[in-house]
Structure 1
Amino acid sequence: MDTEIPAGGVVVVIDVIRAFTTAAVAFERGVAEIACAPSVEVGRSLRRLYPDRLLVGETGGLKPADFDFGNSPSEMSMAQLAGRRLIQATSNGTLGLARCRAPAALLAVSARNVGATARWIASNHADTPCTLVCTGRTAEDWACARYLGGLLDGSAPVRADLVTGIMEGAAEHARRYARLPASERVDLSTDLHFCCDVDRSAFAMVGEVRNDHVVLARVPC
């Protein structure tokens, strides 16, 4: 996520474990829009402005005490969300969106909606330069970037390779969490199958840049 993001192109921000998998499941559950904040502090400020919105996210991978939900697709899958608006704040994914200030188009992607994202780009910006931004340093985001890049250039990437990359990334996360005190560890076990469910969501998540956040909308593809 340290790379410079050029203005004027299509920017796709990738976070498989777990921000944009969580967002995709929320849209599947009927959420109207998601305001993606670059920090929990901005998320809380947005909540004060819009108290009817649900606050979703994490710090250090764990749900802050004043948030309605953690950064968990499993939690989203069981929530009553039809017609609701969310505010999401995460350490990597939503922060990555906020770094993109002047794109021709801005999208959020996980494995869950990678095919729809490729179709949206091909239909709307086929001739526009495209930058893929991995928000983490673990294997799952890079695997998703390779898979999406293959879809965009027509090289027919292998779905099993993407799932393998996600599992490798999950193992990297697990090794890192194992070194932390028990109170700071994150259990990904209930979320992982959502993260590996390639192309479950037949929509792109298209962002609109606001002053201090990005609003995601669900666009069927």
Structure 2
Amino acid sequence: MDTRFLGIAELDEAPSVAVVVDVMRAFTVAAWAFAQGAEKIVLAESLDEALALKGRHPDWVALKDGPPAPGFEAVNSPGLMRSIDLGGRTVVHKTTAGTVGALAVKDASLVLCAGFVVAEATARLLRTYKSDSVTFVVTGEEGQADEDLACAQYIARRATEAATDAAEFLRRAAESRAAAELAEGVRQGVHPDDVALCLEVDRFSFAMVATVEGSLMVLRPRAAPSPADEELV
């Protein structure tokens, strides 16, 4: 499998298969939202679009980076997300990196959104899909965020070597600038457990697939193929 690791600005054309990685914290939060019962997550292009969608669908839950704000019921924190009951609801998600990266590759034939919490499920889906080329979108810090790059490299390795040890990749993520800023309270809308929750490997058994539905980019959970299913493909 040929792999590329690119920042959002480096994407010059739609890849065939894209894995968009945002460990701290967009796609860790998205995974927690599904674990809390969300049916789907709409990836908004702007805060204004998120609020407009919320206005048209009052029962949807709007979520953003940073501190709480009028019109938004939730913030981009896994520690806070785990206490919200989202049973059957739709979440509208807008962040500064993760959602932007997913929207940048919306024309790919397969778009997966990932963090460490869904690493194995994502790797299994890649193995089943059997693409010759996969582009990993490293969303943070203009493609330089080491927590995202480490996770992307780990998933890429897991897609071909299932026994890959996570320890070194997790160490890099734990020592990243994003982890330090979260731990030190530099970023707002943070729970003390956020870093630890972002570094839980394979917390969830589903992958997350984004597809264009009408005019919207929609993220949904997808059960990971079993090893037996992989052998049949």
Scaled by the length of structure 2, the TM-score of the pair is 0.84
1:116 to 121, 136, 141: 121
- 8 Å CA contact 2:150–2:172 kept in 1: the answer is yes
Query: Which one of 62, 74, 77 corresponds to residue 82 of structure 2?
Result: 77
Residue 153 of structure 1 deviates from its aligned partner by: 2.7
Evaluate the alpha carbon distance shift between residue 74 and residue 176 of structure 1 in structure 2; reply closer, same or farther with a 3 A threshold: closer
What one-letter code is carried by the residue in structure 2 that aligns with 1:94? T
- Residue of structure 2 in register with 1:136 after alignment: 140
User: What amino acid is the match of 1:198?
Assistant: V
Distance in 2 of aligned mates of 1:152 and 1:67: 37
Please tell me whether the aligned partners of residues 33 and 86 of structure 2 are also in contact (alpha carbons under 8 angstroms): yes
What residue in structure 2 maps to residue 189 of structure 1? 192
- Stretches of 4+ aligned residues off by more than 3 angstroms: 174-178, 184-188, 210-213
Amino acid at match of 1:98: L
Q: Counterpart of 1:216 in 2: which secondary structure? A: strand
SS at match of 1:198: coil
Q: How far does residue 157 in structure 1 lie from its aligned partner after superposition? A: 2.9
Paired letter, 1:218: P
1:67 aligned counterpart, secondary structure = coil
Task: Structure 2: state its 5+ residue gaps.
Answer: 1-7, 225-233
2:56 to 37, 49, 53: 49
Match of 2:231 in 1: none
Q: Distance in 2 between matches of 1:43 and 1:189?
A: 27
Selected match of 1:22 from 21, 29, 39: 29
What are the equivalent positions in structure 2 for 1:70-109 lying under 5 Å apart? 70-109=75-114
Task: Say how many residue pairs are matched.
Answer: 213
2: CA distance, partners of 1:213 / 1:32: 15
CA contact (8 A) 2:39 2:90 kept: yes
Q: 1:2 aligns with which of 2, 9, 15?
A: 9
Indicate conservation of the 8 Å contact 2:43/2:218, yes or no. Answer: yes
Residues of 2 paired with 1:112 and 1:7: CA distance? 26
**3-state SS of paired residue (1:31):** coil
Cα distance change of structure 1 residues 200 and 176 upon mapping to structure 2, 3 Å threshold: closer
**C-alpha distance in structure 2 between counterparts of 1:162 and 1:20, whole Å:** 17
Q: Equivalent residue of 2:118, what SS? A: helix
SS class of match (1:2): helix
Structure 1 spans left out of the alignment, 5+ residues: 179-183
Identity %: 31
Alpha-carbon shift at residue 30 of structure 1 (Å):
1.2
Q: CA deviation at 1:101?
A: 3.2
